[in-house]
Amino acid sequence: MRFEKPVPLQQIARLIKAELAGNTTASATGINEIHKVEKGDLAFVDHPKYYEACIRSAASFIIINKKTDFPEGKALLIVDEPFEAYLTIVNYFRPFQPSMRPVSDTAIIGEGTVIMPNTYIGNHVTIGRNCIIHPNVTILDYVVIGDDVNIQAGTVIGSDAFYYNKKTNRDIHYKKMASCGRVVIENGVEIGANCTIDRGVTGDTFIGTGTKIDNLVHIGHDTTIGKNCLFAAQVGIAGATIIEDNVILWGQVGVSKTLTIGEGAVVNAQSGVKGSLEGRKAYFGTPAEDAKEKMKELVWIKRIPELWEKVMGGKR
């Protein structure tokens, strides 16, 4: 999440009741999670296992629960509960704002765009020119949609990330990490019926120009999808995944989190992608592997009874 203007660290420290160390006169330009941080960002860390990764990341300012060494030019904001500090910042700079109108007064709708009945368009949404938004579509706060986009009935864009902070010393172990990111959809994208596209936790979920998405597809938070991709029905993509240009995912493909599928890759139906895949190859199976090699394996599997008979001579 970008702040509307840089915010002095001392103001943030007062807000979250933090002890400041390091570059205390600096200002933060936003708050981000570790997968999306940039220079000028705040990030938080509350487990020693991740201290080093967070402190050495692109984040300039670290909300942390222990004073430790850090690079020159950065700053620490030391609090007992960094996650609670994160929630305080998000709720202060981007509080929940209900909108009871079908189309929020703050939404911007481009010339030639058609909005059909029973559609909800939330706060600070921008929709470009010549789009068609079919009935019962829900477009939640801060979504950005380009020109010539077609969204079929029942789709939800900008729902909260499925992202939780886990602490076993609480009665409720999983506590929701408030989503303050966006969904950004470029020109010429088509989205089928009853799809769900989650906003970024703090950054953007992004869908590139010309990508076509079938019905009942789910795209998780902070996922980046390239240009001219094709996703068939019931594809599910977890959070913070990168799918490069011209990728095809056929029906019921499941894609795990924080991986990359390279440009031009094709993943055949009902495959499970658990790790990054090279581009310009076809894949099949769970876990997804080179499709030709996987087909050879299936041929040999079918021959197991025949081979068993030959080896055992009919004996059981």
61 and 120 both lie in a single domain: no
Bridge partners, 204 (sequence order): 182
Domain-embedded: residue 307 = no
User: How far, in Å, CA of 139 to CA of 295, rounded?
Assistant: 42
77 and 150, same domain (yes or no): no
The per-residue pLDDT for 244 is: 98
Number of domains in the chain: 2
The answer to whether position 199 is within a domain reads: yes
User: Which amino acid would we find at residue 298?
Assistant: L
115 and 264, same domain (yes or no): yes
**C-alpha to C-alpha distance for 232 and 215, rounded to whole angstroms:** 7
**Same domain for 271 and 139:** yes
Name which of 55, 59, 64, 56 is nearest 85 in CA terms: 64
**Rounded-to-integer distance, Cα 64 and Cα 218, Å:** 33
Q: Do 157 and 228 sit in the same domain of this protein?
A: yes
134 is catalytic: no
Give residue 316's pLDDT. Answer: 58
| 78 inside domain | yes
For 53-72, how does the pLDDT look when each residue is reduced to its tens digit (9 = 90+)? Answer: 999 999 999 999 999 999 99
Residues 85 and 125 in one domain: no
Active-site annotation holder among 35, 47, 124, 221: 221
314, part of any domain? no
Containing structural domain, residue 132 = 108-294
Alpha helices in the chain (DSSP H): 9-16, 48-55, 82-93, 291-302, 304-312
In a domain, 228, yes or no: yes
The pTM (predicted TM-score) of the whole model is 0.93
For residues 58 and 119, membership in a common domain is answered with: no
Q: Confirm whether 102 is domain-assigned.
A: no
Q: Quick: pLDDT tens for 270-296.
A: 999 999 999 999 999 999 999 999 999
Q: Report the mean per-residue pLDDT for the chain.
A: 95
CATH of the domain at 34: 3.40.1390.10
CATH number of the domain at 287, please.
2.160.10.10
Q: Is the same domain home to 257 and 191?
A: yes
Q: What tens digit of pLDDT does each residue of 203-224 get?
A: 999 999 999 999 999 999 999 9
Kindly state whether residues 64 and 124 are assigned to the same domain.
no
The first and second tokens of residue 176, run together, are 């929701």
Mark whether 171 and 270 lie in a shared domain. Answer: yes
